[in-house]
Amino acid sequence: MSVPITIDHLFKHFGKLTVLNDVSLEISPGELFFLLGPSGCGKTTLLRCLAGFHTPDAGTLQIAGKDITHLPPHKREMGMVFQNYALWPHLTLAENVAFGLEMRKLPSAEIKARVMEALSSVHLAERAHAKPNQLSGGQQQRIALARALVIRPRCILLDEPLSNLDAKLRLEMRSEIRAICKEAGLTAVYVTHDQKEALSIADRIAILKDGVIQQVGTPEAIYERPLNRFVAGFIGEANFIPGTIREVTPATVTTETACGIFVSALENSTFAVNERVELCIRPEHIRFEKPNSDLPNRLRAHFCETTYLGEVAQHQLALPTPNASPTLLKAFELGPRPGRFKLAEPVNLWLEQQHVIVTRV
């Protein structure tokens, strides 16, 4: 049965270095929750605190309302999937999966039944007597999952489980891991630095930087409404234009920049007039066709460079900036028509108001 996880004002120091700085999170039962951020942001340390491999210097950890902050790892009823799989090469797949149950001294008949159940859940029951070196990387990853599932944990922790796989296999395993966790009804905490991986399978994501949570939300909310420049730049690609807020209404925010005036659709904004901000514009949101009416956010630019990639073209555009060098923008064109644009040619652009994202610096 899935359980909630509560992380309350957690701190962790290594010497003078603060790795986790007042981290608090509420993870819902059955949620596939991602910890995402650059190397050194504290995400793996947080996962290891949950697993019991690190003891926090302050704060508490709870599972289903029970304080586990100082509980040893084997008493936390958590499954753990490591980056390098950690399979015993001399044992069969069934023996690898059975290891945790044997340590718990369960009856042999129950061990055998639960091992086959776990192997079936990852579609490898027919390979029970094979050795790990006879499997592909994706199959080894599924055995690591089976070994974590067989102890029937209350939640499962995954530490960059796909980082050792090639690109094609990573794509295949993303949906498999989500399906396995959901079918087992597990609360899962998943660490990665891969934005696409997090966006494609997470229920919610926490973005960390220097041990501090920057934003928590669904993949869509974090991508479309990042709270600050760091989150906007870390998730996906983005163009940034500095500006100053000039008007705030219940439904819109108007920002003055060196490239012109931009209007953002932003309800119940907390931004203030004269506040310094940065506009985030995703390359795929830049529109080349003319709008049906005289809408705001119309721009005129010149083409600097185009890279044709088949299904998409990546354009480099220059926006005139009075008394300064042009502002460069990256734009993506899906289903491009070769030869549609020429270098140095002027072009009209526009942005829908909901795609002009206002972020705090």
Query: Is 338's pLDDT higher than 80?
Result: no
Q: What is the mean pLDDT of residues 294-317?
A: 89
Q: What is the mean pLDDT of residues 58-70?
A: 95
What pTM, to 2 d.p., does this model score? Answer: 0.88
Domains of the chain from N-terminus onward: 5-224 (3.40.50.300), 252-360 (2.40.50.100)
Q: What is the mean pLDDT of residues 266-276?
A: 92
Whole-number percent of the chain with pLDDT over 90: 61
Q: What are phi and psi of 358, to 5 degrees?
A: -95, 125
**pLDDT confidence of residue 165:** 76
Instruction: Tell me the pLDDT band of 7, cut-offs 50, 70 and 90.
Output: very high
Write out the E strands in 37-138: 58-63, 66-67, 78-81
pLDDT in tens, 160-181: 888 877 778 788 888 888 888 8
**pLDDT confidence of residue 1:** 64
Q: Which residues contact 212 (CB under 8 A, 6 or more apart)?
A: 21, 22, 23
Note the residue count of the chain: 361
- Least Cα distance to 88 among 108, 73, 103 occurs for 103
**pLDDT confidence of residue 28:** 96
pLDDT in tens, 82-134: 877 788 899 999 999 998 888 888 899 999 999 998 888 888 899 999 999 99
Q: Across the chain, what does the average pLDDT equal?
A: 91
